[in-house]
Amino acid sequence: MRTIPLLVSGGWRVFLAAILVAGLAADCAAEPVLDLYKSDDLDGGVFRTGRWTEGFVGTDPQHVGNGLHAGSWDPGASLLYSHWELDGPVLAGSTVTDLRDAAGDGTVIIHRTFDTAGATLTLAAGRPWTGPGDGEYTVMLDAYTQVVTELYAAWTRTFVHSSHSFTGEFAAYSDYGLAGQANWALVGEGAGPPTGYPAWRPAGAVSGSWGDAGQVRLEITPEPATLALLGAGLAGAVLARRRRR
């Protein structure tokens, strides 16, 4: 007899919260596994490092429209993309800070932003991030930035390193987001790309640069809306427990 008034007068909130939390837990069984994942050149790494290319649409490496393409590289099998593939960021703008002295020694720092319309990060199936029964995941990128550091001696470039940051949302699981970082090193420039490197983006590029992609970190997180729902469920459960006391 007392069960019905409890549900109507306030206990219904606890009931609905319990249903919500249980439903989310059930859904998570087939969704990406929340965690921070590192490439195997870092402590605790679980996926392969890779290779990258940037196709030039003009002779200037900072030309708007240059495209990035990168993917994991298995040297034993000479296989690209068996763990991940980044495809589609297009250079939207660059800011160059030249810190070289009169002798041509010093550093040039380039901040670059990319258009991410249609850009994706594909995470292969059968990896630690894969939920039970799921295949590969497609992450739709919504932001991509890069900081390039060039070292010079007597006006000759001697070293190039770039740091990348990007974010996105899982195409099939809009409640899940991804944040990533990576460090890339330049190997070469010119016609190509060489065998074993990703194809140029855009496809019509006839020259570009290529190199190694390492120190990759990928963190899969729930989106804010999901966190809010979970928080509401937990708050309801705590409130109900206090009332019972």
pLDDT for res 74:
97
pTM score: 0.80
Is-contact 69 55, C-beta < 8 A? yes
Task: Return the higher-pLDDT residue of 44 and 30.
Answer: 44
pLDDT for res 19:
41
Q: Give the pLDDT band (50/70/90) at residue 11.
A: low
Q: Give the pLDDT band (50/70/90) at residue 224.
A: low
Q: Give the pLDDT band (50/70/90) at residue 244.
A: low
Least-confidence region, from 63-72, 170-179, 209-218, 223-232:
223-232
Q: What is the mean pLDDT of residues 22-40?
A: 74
Task: Return the higher-pLDDT residue of 108 and 239.
Answer: 108
Q: Give the pLDDT band (50/70/90) at residue 192.
A: confident
d(CA 117, CA 27): 28
Q: Which residues, listed in sequence order, are joined to residue 86 by a DSSP beta bridge?
A: 70, 121
* Amino acid at site 46: V
pLDDT for res 245:
53
Closest CA to 137 of 26, 24, 47, 213: 47
pLDDT for res 60:
83
Is-contact 54 152, C-beta < 8 A? no
pLDDT in tens, 134-188: 999 999 999 999 999 999 999 999 999 999 999 999 999 999 999 999 999 999 9
Q: CA 211, 60, 152, 180 torsion: positive or negative?
A: negative
Closest CA to 144 of 117, 123, 171: 117
φ, ψ of residue 203 in degrees (nearest 5): -60, -25
Q: How far apart are the first and last CA of the chain?
A: 20
Q: Count how many Cα atoms sit within 13 Å of the Cα of residue 120 in the half-sphere of its side chain.
A: 13
pLDDT score of 189 more than 70: yes
d(CA 149, CA 22): 49
pLDDT for res 59:
83
pLDDT in tens, 95-128: 999 999 999 999 999 999 999 999 999 999 999 9
pLDDT for res 242:
53
